[in-house]
Amino acid sequence: MLIYLATLTGNLLIISAVAFDNHLHTPMYFFLMNLAMLDLGSVSVIIPKSVANSLMNTRNISYSGCVAQVLLFVFFAISDFYLLTIMAYDRYVAICNPLQYEMVMNRQVCKQMVVGAWMAGILYAMLHTVGTFQSHFCSNVINQFFCEIPKLLRLACSGSYLIEIGVLGISAGLLLGCFIFIIVTYVQIFTAVLRIPSLEGRKKAFSTCLPHLTVVSIFMISGFMTYLNPPSNTVSYLDLVLTVIYSFVPPILNPVIYSMRNKDIKTALSKLLHLRFPHKKTCSTFHL
């Protein structure tokens, strides 16, 4: 519950700050707002139900509720990762090709990228949901705190679950391609940052890029270890830990990494919440 409330508060503050401050209506903050909405959705799909079950001392979820949970969680998680890929490209253009940034990352292109990420998430979610629930289940006991696809496949007692395993394999290949793209993009960014003569400028760039790369890596590694493990009927606490890492860590860290350490976001939040901080007066600046 504490994790959920912290994630809820952080992401809602980011959405509000970007929506109500005209100075933040730029591509980078537009992507941040969409990322906050996706993170908010992914944790809202699984945590409230788990908390409610704990408070009521029950472990039940309806079949339709389980289907909805799989559909929505996959949608938010996949869309989230594609958006992180887009954000890496946005930072690449801003740092490596700053003179072409406004032309390349114009408003129409940004909207199309975000719509593409959301549509890809919907498509993936539908494929995985159909592939998972077309199987017949031999048991109705899931050894997890939400309806997770690998745990559901371990309950299948027909060969139709192999179709979903194939879909998972194809999805893993595409996501791995996105991850490699992010790595290559950040190599180019780091190379450009090292050419910056100012030591402070290099520290600022690295302090933003390295945490982003760390969170993406944690999401990918823990997700791959969870979804690509061979089916097994044994209960593993490692599976629980990996699930908590890939489902909880990115949504709660993203607001901190991308926004709470950002001066523009802090200024927007102080205006929104009518707070005053003892900062020195400086001229307003815009950053690509």
190-214 per-position pLDDT tens digit: 888 888 777 776 776 676 677 778 8
**Is the pLDDT reported for residue 45 higher than 70?**
yes
Whether residue 31 is contained in a domain is answered as: yes
Looking at residue 162, what is its pLDDT?
A: 76
Tokens of 161: 């679950």
Planar angle of CA 80, 83, 89, nearest 5 degrees: 150
In a domain, 262, yes or no: yes
User: What is the structure's pLDDT at 283?
Assistant: 41
Indicate whether 50 belongs to any domain: yes
Q: Is residue 35 part of a domain?
A: yes
**Residue 121: its H or E element:** helix 107-133
Nearest-angstrom CA–CA distance, 110 and 117: 11
Domain assignment of residue 79, yes or no:
yes
pLDDT at 165: 79
pLDDT band at 287 (very low <50, low <70, confident <90, very high): very low
Q: Does 139 map to a domain?
A: yes
152 belongs to a structural domain: yes
Interval 85-135: pLDDT, tens = 999 999 899 888 888 898 999 999 999 999 999 999 999 999 999 988 988
Mean pLDDT of the 176-182 span: 91
**pLDDT for position 282:** 42
pLDDT digits (tens, 9 = 90+) for 147-170: 989 888 888 887 666 777 788 888
Query: Residue 80 belongs to a domain with what CATH number?
Result: 1.20.1070.10
User: Within a domain: residue 285?
Assistant: no
**Mean pLDDT, range 134-147, rounded to an integer:** 86
Give the tokens for residue 275. Answer: 């707070």
Compute the chain's Rg from CA coordinates.
21
Please tell me the total count of domains within the chain.
1
Q: Which residues span the domain enclosing 148?
A: 2-272
d(CA 271, CA 44): 28
- Assess whether pLDDT exceeds 50 at residue 243: yes
pTM reported for the whole predicted model: 0.87
Say which residue, 229 or 131, is predicted with more confidence: 131
